[in-house]
Structure 1
Amino acid sequence: MNKPLILIVTIVYLMLCASLFVVQEGQRGIVLRFGKVLRDRDEKPLIYNPGLHIKIPFIETVKNLDARIQTMENQADRFVTMEKKDLIVDSYIKWRISDFSRYYLATGGGEISQAEVLLKRKFSDRLRSELGRLHVKGIVTDSRNQLMTDVREALNHGTSGDEDELQATDHAIASAAARVERETKGSQSAAVNSNSMAALGIQVVDVRIKQINLPTEVFDAIYQRMRAEREAVARRHRSQGQEEAEKLRATADYEVTRTLAEAERQSLIIRGEADAQTAKLYADAFSIDPAFYAFIRTLRAYENSFNDKNNFIILSPESDFLRFMKSPGHWHE
């Protein structure tokens, strides 16, 4: 094969490669010829679906648009409720391109950053308006889901237009919609509300509030108030506990005193009965021989009286106490 043929084949191959382009799944393609969008008979930009397509090499270029659902995280912002209370709301938005030709023209070339700027501003204005109609309790409880639904519907379909709160964002969206109408010479088939995201070719799939917080200064004030309330409750419970403790302690002391008194009484009764029984036994035992009883009692008296060497008793020799220390002949005198 000679060199001219190889050159021709190479040129044909390069021309063929430059003429074909592939639109990936999840994307849509727009062809630009000398920087201008190719349009159909209705002046709408030609949209290429996923697949293999042909273009004029070196003259036409392809702009790919993402057809998948996008997630836009919103920075936490401050909002005011109906009762004039501030809330810090953290949220996100799920959106996708619903009209690629309108989206491309309205955003000046399909720039996601420009679309998200308008979407974020519109969402913030709409959320601020909706939160201003609700109380804090409704926002954090049963009205939260309805709030998200109302915001999503307002973004997709716009507002009635007779509200006094027509924001600068609405004017920006309306200007973008008017630009689309001018460039397509009013040939867009579907009429859309000029202050809705549909005017930009965008559909809001979902909006969600991730977190609702109080501002730091309000949070600290509420925390201090809650702490004071809890401390008051704790003091009340402690005082009630001390009162109950005193009652229980007094009851226990009373029971102890009563039990000891009852025990002492029983012991005295038992001791008295024992002494009486002992005296009776002694009486019964010694009544048989009174003289022997007198002798035993006297010996015990001697034992108790002379149990210490340092004890001295001065008695008359004629004392009857010492009669058993005398000769046996004097015992019965």
Structure 2
Amino acid sequence: MKYISLGIVIFIIVFVLLFSVFVVDVTKQAVILEFGKPVRVVKDPGLYFKKPFVEEVIFFEKRILEYDSEPTIVVTKDKKSMILDSFALFRINDPILFLKTVRNEIGAQARLDDIIYSEMRRVVGQYDFDDIVSKKREEVFEEITTSSREKARELGIEISTVRMKRVSVPAENLKKIYDSMIAERQRQAALYRAEGQREAQRIKSEAEKKKVIILSEAYRRAQEMKGRGEAEASRILQTALSSDPEFYQFLKTLDLYKSTLPGNVLIITPDSELFRYLRKK
């Protein structure tokens, strides 16, 4: 009888311990409920105790979770429809608020779907189609992330990022988009050609200006050199004349013989001054 009583006591102790001890994994966080009311949160991993039959433990993920939405049709500022396939990364940063507002991850996915979709429609409606798919893609989704994060805080959720996986357009809008893209590229090409022509004209004008300056400078220097040469020639001539006028006259007469006598018929008297040097011995 004694052993039976001891066994019953041990069973009761073990039974109570089983309902008094809980383990928090490194990837989890726990909310302790007392009669259904949240009383505390345990975020650090380890072994913990609770009041048996009075307190209840609910576990939530502490790791980053992924929200993957269905492709959504939105309209841009320039009235073009596009299909956005996006995803978001989030984590539960306030387990008690999370429990009160969405209860579990399924409820969180549903609420995030409403928040992100509404913010995506609002932000995308402020940008043109080309900006979203190319120029300002990062800016657009950073704005969606910021506004969605503010609203998700009310659910005990912290959104890390909202990003686009794929963008497409409805089939009926493809031709309009292609025509718009062709017109835009043609407009850009015309601008580039006009800019090139302006630049070519500017370069040509600069070259003509430099040409005139260079030619004017060359002409000025040539005239200066010619003037100095003529002055030097005149100086040499004057020096020669002053040193031996008779010899200079003799050389000039020889030049005259060379230019007039060969092949020409001249009628002159023998005592002409032209033959002065020929008569001398």
TM-score class normalised by the smaller sequence: 0.5 to 0.7
Task: Summarize deviations over 1:188-245 as a string: whole Å, max 9, x none.
Answer: xxxxxxxx211111111111111110102223x369979xxxxxxxxxxxxxxxxxxx
Give the match for residue 238 of structure 2: none
Give the match for residue 7 of structure 1: 8
Is the counterpart of residue 136 in structure 1 residue 129 in structure 2?
yes
Is the counterpart of residue 27 in structure 1 residue 28 in structure 2?
yes
Please give the root-mean-square deviation of Cα atoms over the aligned residues, in Å: 2.2
Give how far 1:122 is off. 1.2
Give the match for residue 77 of structure 2: 82
Give the match for residue 164 of structure 2: 209
Task: Summarize deviations over 1:66-116 as a string: whole Å, max 9, x none.
Answer: 111111111001110111010011111111112222222222xx3222222
Counterpart contact for 2:76–2:125, Cα < 8 Å: yes
1:93 to 67, 88, 91: 88
How do residues 120-269 of structure 1 correspond to structure 2 at under 5 angstroms?
Answer: 120-157=113-150, 196-219=151-174, 221=175
2:55 to 52, 60, 64: 60
Give the match's secondary structure for 2:70: strand
How do residues 37-52 of structure 1 correspond to structure 2 at under 5 angstroms?
Answer: 37-38=38-39, 46-49=40-43, 50-52=45-47
Counterpart contact for 2:98–2:104, Cα < 8 Å: no
TM-score scaled to structure 2, two decimals? 0.59
The higher radius of gyration belongs to 1
Percent identity (aligned): 26
Separation in 1, partners of 2:22, 2:120 = 42
Give how far 1:35 is off. 2.1
| Highest RCO, 1 vs 2 (Cα 8 Å, sep ≥ 6) | 1
Task: Summarize deviations over 1:144-189 as a string: whole Å, max 9, x none.
Answer: 11111111111123xxxxxxxxxxxxxxxxxxxxxxxxxxxxxxxx
Separation in 2, partners of 1:150, 1:72 = 18
Separation in 1, partners of 2:144, 2:170 = 23
Give the match for residue 42 of structure 1: none
Counterpart contact for 2:88–2:162, Cα < 8 Å: yes
Give the match's secondary structure for 2:120: helix
Separation in 1, partners of 2:143, 2:51 = 47
Separation in 2, partners of 1:76, 1:22 = 40
Give the match for residue 252 of structure 2: none
Alignment gaps of 5+ in structure 2: 181-281
Q: Which stretches of structure 1, 4 residues or longer, exceed 4 Å deviation after superposition? A: 222-226
Larger proportion of helix: 2
Give the match's secondary structure for 1:141: helix
CA distance 1:105–1:223, shift in 2 (3 Å)? closer
Structure 1 counterpart of 2:5, one-letter code? P
Give the total of aligned pairs. Answer: 179
Give how far 1:37 is off. 2.1
Structure 2 counterpart of 1:112, one-letter code? E
CA distance 1:96–1:224, shift in 2 (3 Å)? closer
Separation in 2, partners of 1:199, 1:223 = 39
